[in-house]
Amino acid sequence: MLAIFQKQVAHAPQELNSPRSGAAKPKNPDQILRDFHAAHPEDAFSTSFGGGAALACVAAQPRSLYGYQRMFCGLDDIYCVFMGTLNNLSSLMRQYGLTGRSTNEALLVIEAYRTLRDRGPYPADQVVKDLSGSFAFVVFDSRKSSGAVFAAQSTDGGVPLHWGVAADGSVVICDDRAAVKAGCGKSHAPFPAGCMFHSEGGLKSFEHPMNRIKAMPRVDSDGVMCGANFRVDAFTKINSMPRVGSATNWAATWDDAAI
């Protein structure tokens, strides 16, 4: 899986950027996307959006090859790349009124996102916390004026997810560490487990929403600064959580609790 979002769509955390050093220099988004297709010449596919976004995925393969299933789908101009499994998919389908339909994890995540975006009955962290299983996903909402990005990884970190910054400042998210490292140079790091990222509100823990995210500098084997590790800071808490009414846009809660 590969997702690339230019700066007009999403901004990576500042700590993810590292000084350029040696031969490990970041590439442009087009080159990163071409490298992804070259690595999977027979079964990779991608879609690009005029607003500065691209999503790519490897076609469905036997789960034994990767250890987890991969899905890519779109509905009402909302697109989702999902990896892993939801243990409570059936109960979530009932919760979102999807019984009787052919639904998989990716479509469920799209429906959950759309519900949050349009009606916002609960804080976003509570909705993601309701997803039980081992997963990682990226949602791109092309209906927003400049596009919106929503990504998350389960608390167990069972499905790998990495992110970095391309040469032009674009956010790169991928399940392949080697691909992110090759495309982003020193500006890459593991995506923090139990966290979610939104283009309008940044990085936030959905397991501990009242705690801030602390960035710890990473140093590679050569002693060179290499991105940052993001961890929930148990000693720093936001004083209060915003209340969200049924008429409130869920995305606005990110601004109030932005990290």
What is the full DSSP assignment across 183-225?
HHTT-EEEPPTTEEEETTTEEEESSSTTEEEEEEEEE-TTS-E
Cα distances (Å, whole numbers) of residue 10 to 5, 81, 167, 204: 6, 17, 15, 15
Give the count of beta carbons closer than 10 Å to the beta carbon of residue 14.
10
pLDDT confidence of residue 143: 85
pLDDT confidence of residue 100: 75
Q: Which amino acid is at 121?
A: P
Helix axes 29-39, 177-184, angle to 10 degrees: 150
What domains sit in the chain, N to C, each tagged with a CATH number? 2-256 (3.60.20.10)
Block residue for tokens 């002693």: 223
Along the chain (259 residues), what's the average pLDDT of each consecutive run of 10 residues? 96 87 81 96 92 89 68 94 95 89 91 85 84 97 88 96 96 96 93 94 91 86 79 68 50 49
Q: pTM of the predicted model, to two decimals?
A: 0.86
Q: Which amino acid is at 195?
A: C
Instruction: For residue 72, give the nearest of 104, 96, 49 by alpha carbon.
Output: 104
pLDDT confidence of residue 257: 46
pLDDT confidence of residue 217: 84
pLDDT confidence of residue 258: 44
pLDDT confidence of residue 234: 75
Instruction: For residue 32, give the nearest of 140, 166, 160 by alpha carbon.
Output: 166
pLDDT confidence of residue 118: 85
pLDDT confidence of residue 88: 96
pLDDT confidence of residue 165: 96
